Amino acid sequence: AATRTFSIIKPDATRRNLTGAVTKMLEDAGLRVVASKRIQMSREQAEGFYDVHRERPFFGELVDFMISGPVVVQVLEGENAVKANRDVMGATNPADADEGTIRKTYAESIEANSVHGSDSEENAANEIKFFFNDDELVG
Ligand code: CMP
């Protein structure tokens, strides 16, 4: 059955005008954009979103990066959406990502890695709720 996941097109990608190119790769992977908005995250929003990483050494830089420019938050729907999205994103570090993945194609570094995608259906539901109201999702 179709499920949903949550995606962010990060500031390194919006800066290089890659919103369409990244979205095309998501669509070509069988995912459908059922909600999308371009936002400037506040520091408080970015810290809240990445709360699980608060104790990591890279947390401060990650937050600074995520508020360095606009991002596009999206809800994606498709068969096994979480896995389909993670497969097309590729590994967190672009140096480890497979050919043909978004991060291999576009990411600049492990931090400026162009996209975020939920790592489980439970996290997807929470991350969707963090940015969207139910009436903003149009299947
Ligand atoms: P994301 O999937 O958005 O989740 C956490 C983010 O932290 C990750 O992608 C990277 O962009 C960022 N990050 C920066 N440094 C590291 C690191 N050393 N290990 C893992 N993630 C990192």
**pLDDT (mean) for 25-50:** 98
Per-residue pLDDT of 21-32, as tens digits, reads 999 999 999 999
Q: Provide ipTM, 2 decimals.
A: 0.93
Does 1 score more than 90 pLDDT? Answer: no
Backbone phi, psi, residue 120, to 5°: -160, 165
pLDDT, one tens digit per residue, over 111-126 is: 999 999 999 999 999 9
Query: How much distance in Å is there from the Cα of 111 to the middle of ligand 1?
Result: 5
Helix and strand counts by DSSP (H, E) for the chain:
7, 4
The whole-number pLDDT of residue 93 equals 98
Tokens representing residue 51 in the block: 């709360």
Q: Is 116 a catalytic residue?
A: yes
* Atom number, ligand 1, closest to the C-alpha of residue 115: 3
